[in-house]
Chain A
Amino acid sequence: MRRRSALIIVHLLVPLLGSLCLAGSAGAKVIALFPIQNSAGDSAAASSIDQILRFELSKYGSLVGPERIRDELRRLRVRSGDRAAPALLRLLGKELAADWLVSASLHDTERRVVPRLTMSLRVYSSATGELLWVGFRGASGIDRRKVLGLGTIDEMEKLIPFAVRDLLEELPTSAETSPHTGTQEDRKSSSRLGKVAVVPFGGSTKQWATRNAGTVTEAVRAQLFRSGVVLVSPNLSHEILRQQQSGRWEGVTARTWTALHADAGADTILTGEVETYEVGGSEFEPRPRVALAMRLLDARTGRILWTGSLERGGWDGQGLLGLGRIRSRGALTARMTEILAGRLERAMSKNLRD
């Protein structure tokens, strides 16, 4: 009888101790996950992402309860973590006793024969109220397809866990040190672009122009971060844009670049346009097409330092039997921003205009 009770206690304690050890090994972070920003209008997918993110983030530390976060957001009148000024985020972090403030966005979902989604995640430090990490991911149900159709995912709810895990793959256990690029200080010396402010892109696509422009802006931000560039925190640049351009996001005015340089310490400003963001092809083999343009400005003078553009289809550059095809707009955008960021770095290293 005693032995049986002891076994039950052990069974109950082991998972608890395990989770405590895991949290401890990750530096015992306290994480507050804001409600998902659902630009796709897909509540079921947003709810599913919220659950999976909670589970995955619990590996990094302990999570603040969603009710408490909602109450604090309401009390401090914060609608979105990405739009709250750093001082407000610091206050929010203090009230929630959180180390990381996490903001996730669901940009688009397509519940078709081949489900597709695009999402992004930003981690803010409650100590500074500024960005620590940013990630972007586009996924489709046939990204993992193997011979005889094995690995095909035909439902959005089954695709979400894979997309979330892929997204968090690069989130370091301690966000102050990125696995790719070292500390924030190292980044500053390694990038030729200096500190970059990403100003929301303009959109002129046939449908959902603003939403698509927002998606590409997040992809660019994540790509620059991955490349080791120091970024102006999006909440800080949003605050400056709100003050200087009163809600008009496309392009940069003299007042804006002056404020981004003086108040946010930006050396350069990256912005651009999204001209095409669509999916063609068949239900079984989607063929995304994206066209985007970028330009880099000197934050001191507003002078255009570099411009670049790219139009690409998901099947461009495919190998034999369709190998290497990209089936989602998000994944194609990520690939294109990688190419353009590479061109930008090369052009800046030569100090030439591309």
Chain B
Amino acid sequence: MNRRHLTVLLLAAASWGIAGCGSSMKATKFSNPNFDFAFVERVAVLPFENLSNDRQAGLRATRLTITELLASGALDVVEPGEVQAALIQTGTFQAGRTPIPSTEQIISLGQSLDVQAIIMGTVTQSENLRSGNVQIPVVTLDLRMVEAETGATVWAATHSEKGGSVSAKVLGTGGQPIAETTRECVRQVLATLIE
């Protein structure tokens, strides 16, 4: 009886371990040691580039980044409508394309939006991976912050997040919505900025 219990416990521990192996790695981060982040009070978040097949991924990640930045209370974020108007004004906006501004355009955007920094990002992966009967959402996000005065990158981070609880992975009870995984991914990336 005791041996059977031990077997069950070992199996559970092994499953837990397997599930743990699949969980997310720590975010990779760069930050300019010479830049004073306390100087940044207000930022603009440009619409993220989307390299995944999930049509909504860019918009979703942009929106969640704004929400998480606001929720942190550390920074003020410019209203996205005002960002879009400034993108049009500076000639950075092209319908159906993600804006990738030049250094001059970044400086111009910074001035017109009255921000100290601009956050840009790319969603490189946003999909539901199949593992047996369970769908596990995976989201990979690259974010960078550029100084509005110079256009220089002062912070960058990348993170890959696998969704779904351990029980979902082991017992096949179903994964979480991809929006939740994106949110967790955004949180992990921003945690390297707002420490």
Contact = CB atoms under 8 A, between A and B. Distances in A.
Contacts, number: 64
Contacts of B56: 204, 275-276, 291
B179 A307 contact: no
A204 B79 contact: no
A303 B70 CA distance: 10
A276 B179 CA distance: 11
Q: Is the interface of B mostly helix, strand, loop or mixed?
A: helix
B134 to A, nearest CB: 17
B143 to A, nearest CB: 18
A353 B68 CA distance: 10
A306 to B, nearest CB: 8
For B59, B66, B70, B77, which residue has the most chain A Cβ atoms within 10 angstroms?
B70
B21 interface: no
Interface in A83-137: none
A206 B85 CA distance: 24
B76 A250 contact: no
Given A303-B76, A353-B73, A253 B81 contact: yes
Interface string A240-274: 00000000101111101100000000000001010
B67 A307 contact: yes
Nearest to A254: B82
Interface in B99-150: none
Interface string A270-313: 01010110000000000000010101010000111001110100
A271 B84 CA distance: 15
Interface in B41-100: 55-56, 59-60, 63-64, 66-67, 70-71, 73, 76-77, 79-85
Interface residues of B, number: 22
A273 B66 CA distance: 13
A309 B67 contact: yes
A307 to B, nearest CB: 4
| Size class of the A contact interface (CB-based, 8 Å) | 20 to 34
A304 B70 contact: yes
A23 to B, nearest CB: 45
Nearest to B114: A254
A277 to B, nearest CB: 11
B77 A253 contact: no
A251 B70 contact: no
A273 B82 contact: no
B177 interface: yes
Contacts of A303: 76, 79
A206 B79 contact: no
Which 7 residue pairs across A and B have the least CB separation, nearest first?
Answer: A251-B81, A252-B81, A253-B85, A307-B67, A275-B56, A311-B179, A251-B80
Interface of B: 55-56, 59-60, 63-64, 66-67, 70-71, 73, 76-77, 79-85, 177, 179
18 contacts: A250-B81, A251-B82, A251-B83, A251-B84, A253-B82, A253-B85, A254-B82, A273-B63, A275-B60, A291-B179, A293-B63, A295-B66, A303-B79, A304-B76, A307-B63, A307-B67, A311-B177, A353-B73
